[in-house]
Structure 1
Amino acid sequence: MSATASRVRPSRPTGEAGAAKRPGRTRGAGLGLLAWVLGVLFFLPIAWMALTSFHSEADAATNPPSFAAALTLDGYRDFFGVGGGASPWPALINSAVASIASTLLVLVLSFPAAYALSINRVRKWTDVLFFFLSTKMLPAVAGLLPIYLFAKNVGMLDNIWLLVILYTSMNLPIAVWMMQSFLAEVPVAVIEAARVDGARLPTVLARVVAPIALPGIAATALICFIFSWNELLFARVLTGVAAETAPVFLTGFITSQGLFLAKVCAASLVISLPVLAAGFAAQDKLVQGLSLGAVK
């Protein structure tokens, strides 16, 4: 048999097979278009808020709104107190302290707890997980009065460290659940090899488990930071002037004189920037962490 005759050419798809593939491609293109449309719809309110923040109060209050109105920075000047108003920096600093400190505490507490529930499992670990989940079943407003009375009796009203403790307790159950699913994907063989080499538990956690689960840790930290930064109910009731946070400061723009729309939009955009910056900086780790364990 000649070399030419022995060659086997791959068969081309018939017309029916090609036609069968076209509906799949069309369906994929349709889903992609739908995703773009939904993304634009979700982005429109943010774009509208950003545009309104650069308008004057008179142009921002027009109905229907004017897209061609003159742009100005008056809303941002009023927010930063350039014209003599209250400065937002104390509130922003309080939010940063409460969010960052509580997130670090949550990570320190949830990481070993998740290790005990996923890798070195304790007895009845499913009951423990259910207990953590059950703590989120009580509405936050139901515990507001007891917490207020406790803070008043111990002299911690209008104290930023009270918010740190509250945010830590509020985010800890979510962090334990997220961490548990992330650490369950860590190869046990790697941990056993480290133990054979004489590594103790702190070394195993810090040098073996943590680097492998870094995307999950970053995703958990970002979620806890967002929840802490955006929390309003407890901050509004338990703080006054010294421990006022950014969301509480934002509510101060709604006065008896009316709603200053341009100023509120400018303030909302500025207050949202730290969360957006954190999400953008950790977006690769966030995607890896949220998808970790999705494919078995």
Structure 2
Amino acid sequence: MARRDSASRVFVSTLAAWAVGFLIFFPILWMVLTSFKTELEAFSTPPSFLFFHWTTENYATVQERSDYVAHAMNSLIIAGGSTLIALLIAVPAAWSMAFAPTKRTKDVLLWMLSTKMLPPVGVLVPIYLIFRDFGLLDSRTGLILVLCLGNLPIVVWMLFTYFKEIPKDILEAARMDGATVGKELIYVLTPMAVPGIASTLLLNFILAWNEAFWTLNLTTSEAAPLTVFIASYSSPEGLFWAKLSAASTLAIAPILVLGWFSQRQLVRGLTFGAVK
């Protein structure tokens, strides 16, 4: 009887998981399908799911109208650069908070997290003026800087959580063997926290890749990433749903491929626990 109950629970849980997964994935699936429709079919009522005239005309139009490769390179450089710089800053910061805490460590962590509670529009004007005066408007350097600082609290918090799971005895043994702080970070701590660092890198890269507010307000053409590429298909004449869906599909394709190949490392990092 217990086995039947267990089997039925597994079946129901699996079915529920697939249903929730499909519900979450359905908007993406619908976007991809719409990208292969004509504009007339994209607006048709009732909407057609699979039985429509499939066409790749929207992708050809998007490529002719906008330079996808240039926008994708900007996204790659901006997301990758901001992620790497944030990691270089966050690793020693999280190490000091995890293994050399003070009475104010929790307050500092809470203060860092509180910076994410402020709506970005609240600081848009001063940041825009700073960027204008320093010549950082519509530049990759400016976007790398603002995205790095914006996502830095999340990176520090995640790495702090992972580092806390590592036994202090291992680091103390390394110090007794003569390891300096730098060697301890590079040769002892970092290899042990590779799953956590990898998942932090991936999540921060996705956040930077999908950032729309700052990229839309601080760039125009030269450093415009894929978020600006997508927004260009919203015009006063209206929304061209098929072309907008094609542009959005092209924009998320690289990050979907990255997530697919990194899913094992991501799951391992999110379930990272103490060394036993």
Q: Does the pair score TM above 0.5?
A: yes
The residue type equivalent to 1:106 in the other structure is A
* Unaligned residue ranges in structure 1 (runs of 5+): 1-18
The answer to whether 1:37 aligns with 2:19 is yes
Where relative contact order (Cα < 8 A, 6+ residues apart) is larger, the structure is: 2
The residue type equivalent to 1:189 in the other structure is D
The 8 Å contact of residues 157 and 239 in structure 1, kept in 2 or not, is answered as: yes
Cα distance in 1 for partners of 2:66, 2:88 equals 36
Against the structure 1 CA distance between its residues 27 and 295, is the aligned structure 2 distance closer, same or farther, given a 3 Å change threshold? farther
| Cα shift at 1:174 | 0.4
Q: Out of 222, 247, 264, which is 1:284 matched to?
A: 264
Q: Which deviates the most, 174-183 or 229-238?
A: 229-238
| Cα shift at 1:28 | 2.9
The answer to whether 1:74 aligns with 2:54 is no
3-state DSSP of counterpart to 1:241:
coil
The 8 Å contact of residues 75 and 225 in structure 2, kept in 1 or not, is answered as: yes
Cα distance in 2 for partners of 1:204, 1:31 equals 44
Q: TM-score, normalised by structure 2?
A: 0.94
| Cα shift at 1:201 | 1.2
The answer to whether 1:216 aligns with 2:199 is no
Matching residue of 2:32 = 50
| Cα shift at 1:192 | 1.9
Q: Out of 88, 91, 99, which is 2:71 matched to?
A: 91
Cα distance in 1 for partners of 2:216, 2:169 equals 49
Cα distance in 2 for partners of 1:63, 1:294 equals 55
Matching residue of 1:163 = 143
Cα distance in 2 for partners of 1:154, 1:47 equals 43
The residue type equivalent to 1:177 in the other structure is W
Matching residue of 1:110 = 90
| Cα shift at 1:295 | 11
The 8 Å contact of residues 115 and 121 in structure 1, kept in 2 or not, is answered as: no
The 8 Å contact of residues 76 and 267 in structure 1, kept in 2 or not, is answered as: yes
- 1:168-187 pair list within 5 angstroms: 168-187=148-167
Cα distance in 1 for partners of 2:61, 2:217 equals 25
* Unaligned residue ranges in structure 2 (runs of 5+): none
Cα distance in 2 for partners of 1:255, 1:261 equals 11
Cα distance in 2 for partners of 1:126, 1:269 equals 41
- 1:7-22 pair list within 5 angstroms: 19-22=1-4
For residues 225-244 of structure 1, the C-alpha deviation after alignment (integer angstroms, 9 at most, x for no partner) is 11111111111111111111
Matching residue of 1:153 = 133
Cα distance in 1 for partners of 2:177, 2:45 equals 72
Against the structure 1 CA distance between its residues 127 and 78, is the aligned structure 2 distance closer, same or farther, given a 3 Å change threshold? same
The number of aligned residues is 275
Matching residue of 1:4 = none
- 1:128-277 pair list within 5 angstroms: 128-277=108-257
Cα distance in 1 for partners of 2:246, 2:256 equals 15
| Cα shift at 1:294 | 8.9
Q: TM-score, normalised by structure 1?
A: 0.88
User: Is the radius of gyration larger for structure 1 or structure 2?
Assistant: 1
The residue type equivalent to 1:206 in the other structure is I
Matching residue of 2:47 = 65
Cα distance in 2 for partners of 1:295, 1:52 equals 47
Cα distance in 2 for partners of 1:44, 1:131 equals 37
Against the structure 1 CA distance between its residues 294 and 78, is the aligned structure 2 distance closer, same or farther, given a 3 Å change threshold? farther
Q: Which deviates the most, 163-172 or 285-294?
A: 285-294
3-state DSSP of counterpart to 1:65:
coil
The residue type equivalent to 1:284 in the other structure is R
The residue type equivalent to 1:160 in the other structure is R
Between the two proteins, what is the percent identity of the paired residues?
Answer: 40
The 8 Å contact of residues 116 and 122 in structure 1, kept in 2 or not, is answered as: no
| Cα shift at 1:123 | 4.3
The 8 Å contact of residues 229 and 247 in structure 2, kept in 1 or not, is answered as: no
RMSD over equivalenced CA pairs, Å: 1.8
